[in-house]
Structure 1
Amino acid sequence: MAPDEEFRVTFPTLFVALDWVEAHCVIPDGFRKGEPFDLLDWQFWCLANAYRLKPDVVWNPKDPVLAPAFYYRRSQIVLPQKAGKGPYSAARICLEGLGPALFAGWARGGEVYDCREYGCGCGFVYVYEPGEAMGMPWPTPLIQVTAFSEEQAGNVYDAFVSMVKNGPLQDLIPSTPGEEFTRLPGGGRVDKVTSNAQSRLGQRVTYVPQDETGIWTTTNKMTKVATTQRRGLAGMGGRAEETTNAWDPSEQSVAQMTAESRAKDVFRFHPQAPATLSYTNKAERRRIHRYVYRYSLRENGGHIDLDSIEAEAAELLEKSPAEAERFFGNRIVSGSGSWVERAKWEKRKAPTPREIRRGSLVVLGFDGSDVDDWTAIRAETADGYQFTPTYGPDNLPTIWNPADHGGQVPRLEVDAAVDELFAKYEVVRMYCDPPYWESEVDAWAERHGEKRVIRWHTRRPVQMFEAAERLRTDIVKADSGFTHDGCELTAQHVANARCSARPQGRYVLVKATDPQKIDACVTSVITHEAAGDVTAAKGWRSARSNYVYLPSTTRRR
């Protein structure tokens, strides 16, 4: 759920928890160490969503912890360097360990949360309004502050310890916090856990802050840590929260898997500047920084100075452009250069949504796979508008991921989609890359005509290089008429495409890594080549408009 500009909370949540945090937590370090910890807008928003409640949940006093009260099972926060993730995580640890982090029913009005009932003499009293959600602490919380390295785990754990030692919570801690764990009232504790502490996994944890999951991978065994902790949380009705910088999509990190998951009960917060802005352009980079840091800027009550961020980013940009863009621009980019910078592709997105009329003249491009890579069909009009068509009763996009279909591309669906597109549009030409699909391409040529369905092999290095260069030129040149529909899957595949050098100054398109698919990009190249060839052959017969403009409120996929 995206915030509006005022971060208005229009859903039920534990407001008592948000007020408790500001009354008990303090700034952990710096010149303002020990001063009250006032939530920044983004911190307020993320906490409000973390404790968002299902409006129809019924509290069971006999089984209060396991009641499925919360709307989100876990959270993910993706923000740039120094935006305030560490102090935020520390504050939530304080809340989960000592504050009203559990749902305790709906108030009739007049009920109170009084800290004195829980051994805290700070004087905090919260009066509930009628119908408001009430909160209570965990009886025996077990919290694991988890990161890949000791230093990373310490960034969060040490901030938590500082909040406890320098604020009103120090009276609640039965002993001095240690370097590895802190004892909590009632037998609870907060542990610091890294990749080396595998023996602690599988415990009956109640809350797990997982820091920098963008570098948690199968190789460093942190994927197993994440899944094991989540199983432990499930048994206790507990929850997890990831905090991370943007990740390298070539590494298949835990953060990436969370972001790409289709689970509806995961709250995600990942502000990103418009993709049309180029990070290598200093003026546009400034706009990117202002956007992703806007909740933490000094002018908005935060601590971030944009000049300092620019200085660090510019220095890192000289040695590692991708890292600079991830760490400070909050963007998901790979470690090597793209065939086409995604910002340039995004700038070719048509400014006004378009719907192509039935019977319009189009060309089609097809690139097929079987069990690993994706299969895609793209279309293009005579005036250079490229789009992903839809098919079937649900108007699904003509891009198929084998993982969504039991591990294999649904060939009958693809076949039906091709027939539907030929029925819907007047297809002047269709270029098809035939490997794995020879029989289907033969059948399409027989049904729709050998002059319209053409076998176009992408494995020919000279022809493929020229076709890729044609599309790249029309993407980057100022006076090009090429536009596209903004298909997000295609944009990602374009960003994934890399150039692999070949003799005589040519290249072929390759994936940065195997998980980073480029099939929709290759299909776009094929489609644009078909359109260019038809134009050269004067094959379009169009004195009529072949599209209509629709207002944005009626846009359809």
Structure 2
Amino acid sequence: MPWKPPEPGAVPTLGFEVIDWITELLAAPDRGEYEPFVLYPEQEDFVLRYYEINPRTGKRRFRRGVISRSRGWGKSPFLAALAIAEALGPVVPDGWDESGQPVGKPWSTVRTPLVQIAAVSETQTKNTWVPLLEMLDGPILDAYPGLEPLDTFVNLPRGRIEPITSSARTVKGNKPVFAVLDQTEEWVRSNGGPRLAQTMRINAAKVGGTTIESPNAFIPGEGSVAEESAAFWAKIREGKARDDGLYYDHREAPPETDLEDRVSLLSGLAFTYGDSADRHGGHVDLDTLVATIWDPSTDPQVARADFLNQITHASDAWLSQPEWAACAAPGMVVADREAIVLGFDGSRRRNRGVTDATALVGCRVSDGHLFQLRVWEQPEGPSGRDWQVPVGEVLAEVDEAFKRYRVIGMYADPAKWESHIAGWEARYGAQLLVKSSVAHPIEWWMTGGRALQIVRATRAFHDAVTDQELTHDGASALMRHVLNARRRESRAGIQIAKAHPDSSRKIDAAVASILAWQCRLDALAKGAAVPERSGTVYFL
């Protein structure tokens, strides 16, 4: 039947059909007697979004999904239910009913369905596999003659559900209509996780299938599949992705959640666990979680990752995600002609490895609001081959910043950009109110024999973040670079560096931020004043 436009504000979805199908046919796991499996409201919300239909094409909108929640929230039975629905339920778009709502049909009417539950170890696959088998012990057995749940696989009337791991040799040839990628925060290069994820997505794409990941909070810099998916979502939000077929649902406790304060901790847990928290009628006892977090044997960082679902930091991280997130003020606007300072860290083409990024960061003098002007990074894949920093674009961006704002200072690391920085000094040096030196008003080396100055500037920026003396615009590239930075001890004190010299995880925007912040501090020391109500910044 031809499609009819839905009611204003409504989005066509197969989710309602899928929710009803799950409730009618699946058994709740881990019960003494049969109970229907009923989704929490927030799980229903995910289903409605994940099964959205593009009204223009009549196809499902999303080919990938991520549901990121704390441990114990209920991801495993939830994804088991979706896996069964994909194997047998009405998940393939089949036109529209008389009211203009989409209608679904099972995969078996199109092809023999294969559904896979994937993890990097057999132990992990059991997280979803065990409740999946229990959920099949109910009305669904009568509704689908020939359905045969076995310990190591499930025979469908037509097709199969099976668990697999990264060690499986037959993954590449399979064509699943649906796959669960479980605990992808642990899918890293050393256990073959990224390769397995890539293979499964490609396999699913061959038949128009979909995948869902179920990570807990990942550790930035480990290169996990969960981290890569978060980066993809950040590009979608910023309009920088060529494809937007990922539905990403991540919930973490507010960054200001205090592990030592019971009220603050309970509030953070209640937010993170949502409908599954006992305070909202769910199954998770928050008081037990508080006791577990306060147990001396529980590492605070593990507690934040596991229970608050906060993306924290590596053991040698310079700043943590909660610390950085606590300073975020994405709605704050820096107006034209406001007094700002600039920080710049540049790079040029490398003979080996991934070319470092080039970053230009601004900082408003009046209140210390940090904002990303532009970050140039080597594109992934074939388009990034032989990539070089577009010098012309960089020069134009710097010129535009001087035209748009009242730039009173600029600090730039001149490594590999000496001639261009000399040009900026010749062009803009005389108008700057704060200068690195008389001879070189912009040049500010972050390497070489300036260890004491570098350590002081690095510590000043770190302290400003941890003490929440600055705010930032929440830009994804800036956040990635700050969280990629690693502490490195020198004789002069703590400096920052990449995880290793050839790492693809860059820190140039973090360096530019340190330079911008130091420039602001020097501006204040030289007489920059906090603005009066008129918004004017005065200088002594």
TM-score, normalised relative to structure 2: 0.84
Matched-pair contact (CA < 8 Å) for 1:278–1:343: no
Residue 134 of structure 1 aligns with an amino acid whose one-letter code is V
Q: Which of the numbers 348, 351, 365 marks the counterpart of 1:370? A: 348
Any conservation in 2 of the 1:279–1:329 contact (CA below 8 Å)?
A: no
Moved more, 338-347 or 493-502: 338-347
**Aligned residues: percent identity?**
32
Displacement of 1:539: 6.6
The answer on 1:86 being equivalent to 2:76 is: yes
* C-alpha distance in 2 between matches for 1:398 and 1:10: 37
Deviation at 1:414, TM superposition (A): 0.9
Q: Report whether the alignment pairs 1:20 with 2:21.
A: yes
What SS does structure 1 have at the residue aligned with 2:149? coil
Structure 1 match to 2:137? 165
Report the residue type matching 1:191 in the other structure: E
Task: Please state whether the residue corresponding to 2:173 is helix, strand or coil.
Answer: coil
1:477 Cα shift? 4.7
Offset, 1:468? 1.9
Q: Which amino acid aligns with 2:343?
A: G
- Listed one character per residue, the Cα deviations across residues 336-376 of structure 1 (whole Å, up to 9, x for unaligned) are 25434544444445597233332x33322111123533222
C-alpha change, 1:544 and 1:145, in structure 2 (3 Å) is closer
Once residues 45 and 370 of structure 2 are traced to their aligned partners in structure 1, the CA distance between those partners, rounded to angstroms, is 36
Root mean square deviation of aligned Cα? 2.9
Cross-structure match for 1:434: 414
Q: Distance in 2 between matches of 1:511 and 1:295?
A: 40
Which residue in 1 is equivalent to 2:306? 327
Instruction: Show the counterpart of 1:123.
Output: none
The CA deviation at 1:413 is 0.8
**SS in structure 2 opposite 1:201?**
helix
1:290-305 matched pairs, under 5 angstroms: 290-305=270-285
Q: 2:106 aligns with which of 129, 137, 147?
A: 137
Q: Specify the alignment match of 1:65 in structure 2.
A: none
Q: Deviations over 1:75-110 (max 9, x none)?
A: 1111110111111111112212222121221112xx
The answer to whether the aligner puts 1:251 opposite 2:222 as a matched pair is yes
Measured in 1, the distance between the counterparts of 2:175 and 2:280 equals: 40
2-structure distance, mates of 1:340, 1:200: 38
Instruction: Name 1:220's counterpart in structure 2.
Output: 191
Q: Deviations over 1:403-448 (max 9, x none)?
A: 2784432211110111111222332221110002112111111222
Greater CA deviation, 169-178 or 322-331?
A: 169-178
Q: Is the counterpart of residue 527 in structure 1 residue 516 in structure 2? A: yes
Count of matched residue positions in the alignment of Structure 1 and Structure 2: 496
Question: Which residue number in structure 1 is paired with residue 436 of structure 2?
Answer: none
What secondary structure sits across from 2:191 in the alignment? coil
Q: Residue 119 of structure 2 corresponds to which residue in structure 1?
A: 147
For 2:326 and 2:378, locate their aligned partners in 1 and report how far apart those are by CA, in whole Å. 30
Q: Aligned ranges for residues 430-509 of structure 1 at < 5 Å? A: 430-449=410-429, 452=432, 453-459=441-447, 460-477=450-467, 482-503=470-491, 506-509=493-496
| Equivalent residue number for residue 518 of structure 1 | 507
Which amino acid is 2:291 matched to?
A
Q: Flag the 1:299–1:484 CA change in 2: closer, same or farther, 3 A.
A: closer
Matching residue within 95, 99, 122 for 2:89: 99
Q: Distance in 1 between matches of 2:494 and 2:137?
A: 60
User: Which AA in structure 1 matches 2:245?
Assistant: D
Number of the residue aligned with 1:5:
none
Query: Counterpart of 1:117?
Result: none
TM-score of the superposed pair, with normalisation by structure 1: 0.81
1:399 and 2:379 are equivalent in the alignment: no
SS of corresponding position for 2:274: coil
Deviations 1:364-415 (A, max 9, x none): 21111235332222223332423326xxxxxxx3222232784432211110
**Which amino acid in structure 1 is aligned with residue 275 of structure 2?**
Y
2:211 aligned with 1:211: no
Tell me the CA shift for residue 516 of structure 1: 4.0
Alpha-carbon shift at residue 269 of structure 1 (Å):
0.8
Q: Is the 8 A contact 1:493 1:518 kept in 2?
A: yes
> 1: distance between equivalents of 2:328 and 2:341?
19
Note closer, same or farther for the CA distance 1:205–1:472 as it changes in structure 2 (3 Å cut). closer
Please, which moves more after superposition, 78-87 or 237-246? 237-246
Q: Distance between the aligned counterparts of 1:468 and 1:508, measured in 2?
A: 7
CA apart distance, 1:321: 3.3
Question: What letter matches 2:497 in structure 1?
Answer: V
- CA pair 254-176 structure 1, distance change in 2 beyond 3 A: same
Q: 1:413 to 1:260 in 2, by over 3 A?
A: same
1:253 deviates by: 1.4
Code of the residue aligned with 2:254 in structure 1: it is: P
Q: Deviations over 1:440-460 (max 9, x none)?
A: 111111222368442100112
Q: CA deviation at 1:508?
A: 0.8
2:250 counterpart of 1:265: no
Render the CA deviation track for 1:139-177: whole Å, top value 9, x for unaligned: 221111111111211221221111112444355252642
Amino acid of the structure 2 residue aligned with 1:388: F
C-alpha distance after superposition, 1:220-255 (max 9, x if no partner): 122222222222222222111111212122221122
**Which residue of the partner structure matches residue 64 of structure 1?**
none
Q: 1:361 to 1:154 in 2, by over 3 A?
A: closer
- Give the direction of change, closer, same or farther, for the CA distance of 1:257–1:173 in structure 2 (3 Å limit): farther
After superposition, the Cα gap between the structure-2 partners of 1:137 and 1:416, relative to the gap in structure 1 and judged at 3 Å, is same
1:93–1:343 CA distance, 2 compared to 1 (3 A): closer
| Change beyond 3 A, Cα 1:138–1:381 | closer
The 3 A distance-change label for structure 1 pair 351 and 23 is closer
With over 3 angstroms needed to count, the CA separation of the structure-2 counterparts of 1:230 and 1:347, relative to structure 1, is closer
Cα distance between partner residues in 2 of 1:498 and 1:488 = 18
Match of 1:236 in 2: 207
Letter of the structure 2 residue corresponding to residue 89 of structure 1: L
**Shift in alpha-carbon separation, 1:22–1:421, aligned structure 2, 3 A:** same
* Superposed displacement of residue 46, structure 1: 1.6
Q: 1:138 to 1:543 in 2, by over 3 A?
A: closer
Distance 1:89 1:276, change over 3 A: same
Shift in CA distance, 180/483, structure 1 to aligned 2, threshold 3 Å: closer
CA pair 246-342 structure 1, distance change in 2 beyond 3 A:
closer
Q: Is the 8 A contact 1:34 1:167 kept in 2?
A: no
Unaligned runs of 5+ residues in structure 2 are 1-7, 233-240, 350-354, 433-440
Between stretches 224-233 and 446-455, larger displacement belongs to 446-455
Rounded to whole Å, the distance in 2 between the matches of 1:541 and 1:56 is 53
Q: 1:299 to 1:424 in 2, by over 3 A?
A: closer
Q: What secondary structure, in the 3-state scheme, does the structure 1 residue paired with 2:410 have?
A: strand
Aligned twin of 1:45: 45
